[in-house]
Amino acid sequence: MPHSCCSDCARRTAAWLGGLAREHGARLAAIARREGLSSVDALDVVQDAFLVLLDRPDAEALRDRPADAARVLAVIVRNGARNARRRHHRARPHDEAGDALAADAADPGAALDRAAATTQLATCLSELADVHRRVVTLRVLEELDGAEAARALGLTPGHVAVLLHRARKQLEHCMQAS
């Protein structure tokens, strides 16, 4: 089981990233769209930018400077969009009128909220005990029935059902706590 300080750090990081995504997600997606990407590719670049931000050596310091974090994300998104366009031979001219295109695209804010929730769920899943995490993986993600999951884990189907119920309750509590 992870230390409580590690859990607290993970929750604070998820909350920080979620706040950045809600506040700046639409603008970041618009930047990627102006660089010539489709709305789907723009969201991919924005999500990748958040991962790059986390890997930066100054990520901890940027947590206390949200305006600087937003500027860094904008630069990462712009460069990521240009690289994606070059890599995938999507040679489209830079479009300064891309804001109109972004308005026509699906709501990037909602997609970024889903991405933040997914990140939060992954954090909560990582905090589960190993047996609970394996039960959730087999039953929910791999969609095995109770008997198949029980055979894979060497448990009875009733025990798997109880473990799944407890894991879901723990995940629900963790998601509501964040």
Domain with CATH 1.10.10.10 in the chain: 128-178
Residue for token pair 């993986």: 137
> The pTM is what?
0.48
Q: What is the mean pLDDT of each run of 10 residues along the chain (178 residues)?
A: 61 82 87 85 86 86 86 90 71 48 57 80 88 89 85 91 92 86
pLDDT attached to residue 56: 86
- C-alpha closest to that of 80 among 108, 111, 52: 52
Q: Give the tokens for residue 132.
A: 């609970």
Contact present, 139 and 146 (Cβ < 8 Å): yes
If 0-12 CB within 10 Å is exposed, 13-18 middle and 19+ buried, where does residue 116 land? Answer: buried
pLDDT at 155: 92
Nearest-CA neighbor of 29 among 113, 112, 120? 112
Check residue 5 and give its pLDDT.
58
Class of domain 128-178: mainly alpha
